[in-house]
Amino acid sequence: MAATIRFCLLVSLFASITLTTTVQAHVFDVTKYGGSPNSDITQAFLKAFADACASPIAAFVVIPDGTYQIGVVNVKGPCKAPVEIQLQGILKAPVNTPGDAWFTFGYIDHFSITGCGTFDGMGSAIYGKSKSKTVNIRFNYITNGKVEGITSKDSKQFHINVLGCKNLIFCKMTIIAPADSPNTDGIHIGRSSDIQVLDTKIATGDDCISIGDGLQHLTVERVTCGPGHGISVGSLGRYPNEAPVQGIWVRQCTFKGTDNGVRIKSWPDMEPCEVSDVHFDDITMDNVCNPIIIDQVYCPSNECKSKKGPSKVTIRDVSFKNIKGTVRGDDAIMISCSPAHPCANLCMSNIDLTSPTGKAKATCLNVKPIITGTMNPAGC
């Protein structure tokens, strides 16, 4: 039966209001499939989603307010019409979640997740005790999608992994995990195109947003990052046949207490790849270590100690503009390009970064940046 529904959308990072939206659609409420708060709703959700996916008109899968346990979910399209999951409650993962993902949504056109609810990965129960590769949510080959208003909390590894998607928007989200939680990247995106991350707060133990190979056309705007490791392109050049990264725009973002700010990183002496058309503009740094960094000798935990040659990754057409704020330490700008493939057409404009010591410095290796406007600190 067609139904009229009312749903709540989070409309800012710090407050929410209730909007009334009238749509004609089929509604599939998990409580009508036997689901109830404080119980396991895995089967109820899977049945509701299956019916929604088979609906000939737009369908809503509704999870009302309340706290629910739910196991591993892996659902795939194609669906007959647009499907939206409206999450108002709190979903809790098993403490020992098997596999590489808690939720996986794949091969669906016009798919959305909205609401004021939370995906709680229960990573707090294992941090520092055991390692897990379980991502909170995987989006595989989703087209024309939107994720709005929800919270991802305490994932056991990446919060959100995006692969093979096109025209997917993340907005007004909150992604949180402790600063010392391992590998809890906020959103990792690879081999996708036309992705947007907007008006979102990310505080994790790793990169707020990490960009893998094959990403074409990403826009990140009005994101607050911290704690975490900043927004990173890469690491790249570690594996064979990595696809180029092109068309990255990061604008009007704020970094608070992060270990890095805006970063491009590649491995030394391993595999070739190409990064181009990457732009960081109107960025505020608040007590940030390494606010601006290109690191082409990236080698965490000394994993590439046998590699002596330069990075084979080429970087060109990159700009850092209108970046201001404070540095934790003295390294405000560290550009270390590959001597085999020096960075080409790197532009820096209106940079103003200061440190409490008054000794903020800029270092540029294997590159001759094009500098306009203010350049503080000088050195490149």
Residues annotated as catalytic (active site), given as ranges: 229
Q: Where do we find the tokens 């098993």? A: 94
Under a CB-based contact definition with an 8 Å cutoff, are residues 11 and 17 in contact?
A: yes
Q: Give the C-alpha separation, 78 to 73, whole Å.
A: 16
Beta-carbon contacts of 129 under 8 Å, excluding residues fewer than 6 positions away, are none
Q: What angle do CA 304, 309, 315 make, to 5 degrees?
A: 95
Would residue 191 be called left, alpha or beta, if left means φ above 0 and alpha means ψ between -120 and 50 degrees? left
CA quadruple 302, 307, 312, 314: dihedral sign? positive
Q: 261-278 burial by CB neighbour count: b if 16+ within 10 A, else e? A: bbbbbbbbbbbbbbbbbb
DSSP 40: B
Q: What angle do CA 29, 33, 35 make, to 5 degrees?
A: 85
Bridge partners, residue 83, by sequence: 59, 111
Q: Give the C-alpha separation, 165 to 50, whole Å.
A: 21
- The count of C-alpha atoms lying within 13 angstroms of the C-alpha of 178, restricted to the half-sphere facing its C-beta, is 11
Q: Give the C-alpha separation, 224 to 279, whole Å.
A: 17
Under a CB-based contact definition with an 8 Å cutoff, are residues 50 and 83 in contact?
A: no
Beta-carbon contacts of 361 under 8 Å, excluding residues fewer than 6 positions away, are 330, 331, 332, 333, 377, 379
* Alpha carbon 327 to chain centroid, angstroms: 24
